[in-house]
Structure 1
Amino acid sequence: MSRKKLMEEMTWTELREAMASADTALIPTGSVEVEGPHLPLAVDSIVAMEVARRVADATEGVIVAPLFNVTYSSWHGAFSGTLSLTMPTLMTVMSQICRDLCRHGFKRLFFINSHIGNDASIWNTANDLTAEGLARVGMVSIWPLASEMGQHMSELKENSFLHAGEIMTSVVMAIRPDLVDMSQAVTEYLKPKSEGYQPLLSSKSKVGGRVISIYHTSEELTQSGVMGNPSQASADKGEMIIGNMVEYISQAVDEFRQVPLPPGIGA
């Protein structure tokens, strides 16, 4: 029995053997985009892949599919190095690859997603595959999960996730410290546009005390690509965050694998 968990590192015979006891593909989805002057462009991809690896090590019956690294990040396009597919292209590519995974025998697909720009494509793909009876599909969003868990971590100064802030920087310091240059780290927060208009993200703002969607390009909101304060980040905090996420996601995947398959898929 092959002990490999990454599909791309297996031979086709090893994959066939592994799938005798694995029906679930973990699909890491990231991005290549601005993450401030102190973090690499591939933060989302690096983190999604590492979390997927750790979840696979902790969970039976799963195999890690290849990473979606270049995805949809058009609103960050003014910053050097940001790469983006169009949304229709990403939806087409994601659908085709997922259909191939189903054709090869995976009955469950679970996205480990670290980039909000992937949400719509995953939603579209999941609905189509489910309606057609090809697979049961699930997803966990890494950074919202980290933000929720951060509310209960007294070690953090920024308890909520902010782009390139303390949580993200800490996680990358734990995974790839060689790619973090804290001498270049800057603090930058999103500034109010008017007395009643406070941007929260590129796609969300608070207007009159309530959250609505007002869409901005990143250069309208930040000069550095940072939307928080990375100065208090540390590898120890990052390892704690990752450990908490992996523990929860592993449990969630176990539960996901018990959810009945859509009609038309054999048990």
Structure 2
Amino acid sequence: MIPSWFAHLPAPPVRSPVLLERLAWPDAESTLQDVLLLPVGAMEQHGPHLPLNTDTVIAQSTCHLASALTGAPVLPALGYSVSLGHTVKWPGTFSLFHETLMLTVREIAQWAAASGWKRLLIVNSHYGNDAALRCAVDRLRHDLGDSLLTATRNTWNLTEEIAGRFTHDAADWHANEAETSLMLFLDPSSVVQERISTADDPDRTAGCVFPHRVAHTSLNGVTGRPSLGAAEQGALLISQMGEALAALIEKARVEHPPLSWAP
């Protein structure tokens, strides 16, 4: 199944993504030697103009494009994660605690390893998940050793150029130009476009010592300038993100520990 937005990319891929949930088990078995992708998003407020599943759409779309470019299999996205910092000021945020996400990812990874996959790449699009996912990977590295090589990467900094696209209008960005552009391209019907022009809210975190919750740093849940967003910019950005992830997959397919060691 080819996502409709593929056709509007600067260089559309020639094949569909490999969605594990749509495969019968013999076909899933044929992917065991490849890198398994786990997209992780969030269910949280994204300002007055973007849908609650913005991070999930971005994580999933990045993985789907990379899968179409490489043939790597993609698990269904995790849509609930660590959104504690967004508080309940703006309805629609549903958060897990860090330890819940860590345990969930670890259990998914353990099933992957038991089934025969050897490599798992967690692809995250929500900043609040970063610490929990890195801790989960560290625990999996201890628990599973070389039987399942596991890593986590964030979609917003797959390359320096991509990172610059996300931070140009706010260092502590959220629902900003980059995310707005991506959603205008990936799922424009979910964006309340008449609210974009008045949604800008500046980054108030410069110089802060403590990591304040979003309700203390933003008036409307936005940090950045969504008014600068455009679908054309989103098409270029998701292309860069998918291609960068595809390059990472190619490296992960052949990587082994630099030294051998058995406890």
Amino acid at match of 1:112: V
Match of 1:68 among 61, 65, 78: 78
Match of 2:153 among 127, 140, 152: 140
| 2:172–2:223 CA contact under 8 A, matched in 1 | no
Match of 1:6 among 19, 41, 50: 19
Match of 1:259 among 252, 255, 262: 255
The C-alpha deviation readout for 1:205-246, integer Å capped at 9, x for no partner, is x25xxxx5x121111111211111111211100000111111
Identity between Structure 1 and Structure 2 (%): 27
Match of 2:30 among 11, 17, 21: 17
* Cα pair distance change 1:172/1:162, threshold 3 Å: same
* Cα pair distance change 1:7/1:152, threshold 3 Å: closer
- CA–CA separation in structure 2 for the residues paired with 1:41 and 1:75: 15
User: Structure 1 unaligned runs (5+)?
Assistant: 192-198, 201-205
- CA–CA separation in structure 1 for the residues paired with 2:116 and 2:194: 48
Q: Secondary structure at the match of 2:39?
A: strand
Q: Secondary structure at the match of 1:41?
A: coil
- CA–CA separation in structure 2 for the residues paired with 1:94 and 1:139: 11
Q: Residue 9 of structure 2 corresponds to which residue in structure 1?
A: none
* Cα pair distance change 1:245/1:99, threshold 3 Å: same
* Cα pair distance change 1:4/1:178, threshold 3 Å: closer
Q: Secondary structure at the match of 1:112?
A: strand
| 2:38–2:77 CA contact under 8 A, matched in 1 | yes
| 1:148–1:160 CA contact under 8 A, matched in 2 | no
Superposed CA RMSD in Å reads: 2.5
| 1:39–1:164 CA contact under 8 A, matched in 2 | yes
Q: CA deviation at 1:148?
A: 3.7
* Cα pair distance change 1:54/1:4, threshold 3 Å: closer
Higher relative helix content: 2
- CA–CA separation in structure 2 for the residues paired with 1:145 and 1:34: 24
Alignment of 1:1-267 (within 5 A): 5-19=18-32, 22-60=33-71, 62-78=72-88, 79-131=90-142, 132-133=144-145, 134-145=147-158, 148-149=161-162, 151=164, 158=169, 162-185=173-196, 186-191=199-204, 199-200=205-206, 206=207, 212=209, 214-260=210-256
| 2:39–2:124 CA contact under 8 A, matched in 1 | yes
* Cα pair distance change 1:241/1:117, threshold 3 Å: same
Q: Secondary structure at the match of 2:244?
A: helix
Amino acid at match of 1:257: R
* Cα pair distance change 1:162/1:120, threshold 3 Å: closer
The C-alpha deviation readout for 1:126-178, integer Å capped at 9, x for no partner, is 1222223131112221123477436489xx97497821111110011110011
* Cα pair distance change 1:147/1:164, threshold 3 Å: farther
Q: Secondary structure at the match of 1:257?
A: helix
Q: CA deviation at 1:34?
A: 1.0
Amino acid at match of 1:94: V
- CA–CA separation in structure 2 for the residues paired with 1:165 and 1:123: 25
Q: Residue 196 of structure 1 corresponds to which residue in structure 2?
A: none
Q: CA deviation at 1:14?
A: 2.2
The C-alpha deviation readout for 1:57-91, integer Å capped at 9, x for no partner, is 1014x210121110010111222010111111111
- CA–CA separation in structure 2 for the residues paired with 1:98 and 1:264: 22
- Runs of 4+ in structure 1 over 4 Å off: 261-265
With normalisation by structure 2, the TM-score equals: 0.83
- CA–CA separation in structure 2 for the residues paired with 1:141 and 1:148: 14
